[in-house]
Structure 1
């Protein structure tokens, strides 16, 4: 048994190394491209200056240094480094769009043998800045908002109940006490019967979350709380994450079904697909073999269409963040065919996909907002 665990650990290390390598290379290529275009646009001689390119390449180093260091050696004093590196990470998509726009204009000028005059250069520079800066500035403001969505789910249950659904809080350096206090304030004002967390409650190893433990215990002391694992619980040590959440007063459902004493709701919870691998579909269908399940908690909004053919249940998911940063929402819509955000209905069943109560990586939101959902069922 120990030997197999050692092999698994080695596979995990290799997978993480490969992931970091690929991300680093892609980020370096993107930032180098942005640096080349920025040099052409902002230099007075219209030439590529390598010091500008290497300046942008240093952003790659800052991003990787900030993101990796915080997971290897977590400390509050690292907040500035992690914040700045995350902000640069969030800026890259909009710098890339601005670069493509500027390059397109430069190519047209070159094809028609037009030498850009002073006015044309002002237009190019203004265009680059107007395309890249407003989304970033808006993203900072939108990332601080936490909306409350209120929905009524017309499903027959033994007792009308109010459920607070949160997902993807990503508790860590950038999401912390402020967000927890707003969740607690909502629980105090609305008095939900239960609270459910559909994965990615944490963003770092639980050994780094001691500063939040009192706040979480006070929160779970107010309302019965159920949760399932997400991919970030897996990344940060699955067993440690689950043990820590249970110590916080959270009932973590790992491929099991329970009946809530207060509401009589039958709640089924499944581990994240990353934990099951190819066995996820079979596991989920086995768990949902009984036809009296009221609520299914699953981190990723998968297989709803197959499960909702001849039954009535409510599936609560997250994971997608609704893209978090446009245009990523285009890809989440393509990946999750049954629905990547909001309320979806099929037959007598419903699925609600949360955009997340927090943010992952960049503390920015463009084209989406963080949210908590208050669901009245029955």
Structure 2
């Protein structure tokens, strides 16, 4: 019932936004019955329907059909967001433009029957459209180009001196699906391998679909190379897609899943817990199983998809938790919404004796667009404080 209510509120919000955009960008700038008015009205109906189809298509359509909806449907969600913000800015500018006196003659005079109101409406519409196209286009280029490397040094009090300089390359939220596929995975693998890491951590949300559909897209992960291996924990999207088959498939590629488990490396303990979304299936995080019987004099690094688990990590004496999930907000001003649900949206922060690092992720969910939250792969260099 709660989900249905949220869905209805969301649909109502999209509908009202769409009506507002149609009014400002179609009705106010065109003549009744004209071709622009007719085409604009059709698009105002069709585009949100494509967006709705993209949002629900993954659970009802084969991947090949979903792709036809995903590109226009998801992109329109991003365009709609920034069109709305730009038009709202235009509302503030509109009164100023209405007061500006136009010169008596211009090189390209406005049509003699165009009123000042129509002139201003068209100016605002063109400006808003151009701004939204530029923002979304640049944000899409950033995603399709692939994530950039980020380097960060993390001091750990209990890390042995001999482990000083140990490098963990962290990647999360790859989100293979109807838009991001095998070439996206290959770019990520090439970028990770170029860092020559000691260890690779894949911190959930690898896929948005089934092994049958997306297994080939994930296969380049078999070419990951690190001295101490590659490790994987589930994210919430794995449970939407069928976590158990993906865990088995990832294992077949040579990446070791940590399902509420721990491996004792020479210099520290590496543990991983299942995502919170697995709780409904009886496969949620189990900190006792992953961390309960370990030697607390050793450094512990925990892989956990969602930053909200940091308080469990603190209670269990973890030194460093690596997470993703937030995408850094993905689409500004989404970072403010992400901050309401997550203790840390991106970057490194300390909670008691535990440090939490949250990567913005290497892909994108929904629109293949990022604004104000560029995708990243992070190389964490561990620094010993032992003398």
- Tell me which structure has the larger Cα radius of gyration: 2
* Secondary structure at the counterpart of residue 177 of structure 2: coil
User: What is the rounded CA distance, in whole Å, between the counterparts of 1:77 and 1:370 in structure 2?
Assistant: 27
* Secondary structure at the counterpart of residue 326 of structure 1: coil
Paired residues of 2:172 and 2:362 also in contact (CA < 8 A): yes
* Secondary structure at the counterpart of residue 174 of structure 2: coil
Matched, 1:276 2:279: yes
Matched, 1:299 2:305: yes
CA RMSD, Structure 1 to Structure 2 (Å): 3.5
User: What is the rounded CA distance, in whole Å, between the counterparts of 2:285 and 2:235 in structure 1?
Assistant: 18
Q: Which residue of 2 aligns with 1:98?
A: 86
Matched, 1:81 2:69: yes
Note the 1:101-140 alignment, pairs <5 A: 101-103=89-91, 116-117=116-117, 119-140=119-140
Note the 1:39-50 alignment, pairs <5 A: 39-44=26-31
Offset, 1:102 = 4.1
Q: Which residue of 1 aligns with 2:153?
A: 152
Matched, 1:243 2:255: no
Q: Which residue of 2 aligns with 1:209?
A: 214
> Normalization by structure 1: what TM-score?
0.81
Matched, 1:317 2:318: no
Offset, 1:37 = 2.5
Paired residues of 2:146 and 2:184 also in contact (CA < 8 A): no
User: What is the rounded CA distance, in whole Å, between the counterparts of 1:308 and 1:77 in structure 2?
Assistant: 45
CA displacement, residues 332-370 of structure 1 (integer Å, 9 cap, x when unaligned): 123223x11011134543211010011111111110111
Q: Which residue of 1 aligns with 2:260?
A: 255
Offset, 1:130 = 4.0
Offset, 1:202 = 0.9
What is the aligned length? 357
* Secondary structure at the counterpart of residue 373 of structure 1: strand
Q: Which residue of 2 aligns with 1:9?
A: none
Paired residues of 1:308 and 1:346 also in contact (CA < 8 A): yes
Matched, 1:168 2:173: yes
Paired residues of 2:28 and 2:118 also in contact (CA < 8 A): no
Offset, 1:106 = 6.3
Offset, 1:195 = 0.8
Offset, 1:303 = 4.2
User: What is the rounded CA distance, in whole Å, between the counterparts of 1:208 and 1:97 in structure 2?
Assistant: 36
Paired residues of 2:210 and 2:242 also in contact (CA < 8 A): yes
Runs of at least 5 residues in structure 1 that lack an aligned partner in the other structure: 1-13
CA displacement, residues 99-119 of structure 1 (integer Å, 9 cap, x when unaligned): 333455669999xxxx84454
Paired residues of 2:147 and 2:188 also in contact (CA < 8 A): no
What is the aligned counterpart of 1:265 among 245, 264, 268?
268
User: What is the rounded CA distance, in whole Å, between the counterparts of 2:85 and 2:288 in structure 1?
Assistant: 42
CA displacement, residues 145-195 of structure 1 (integer Å, 9 cap, x when unaligned): 411011121113243421110000011232222232223323433321211
CA distance 1:293–1:313, change in 2 (3 Å): same
User: What is the rounded CA distance, in whole Å, between the counterparts of 2:225 and 2:6 in structure 1?
Assistant: 35
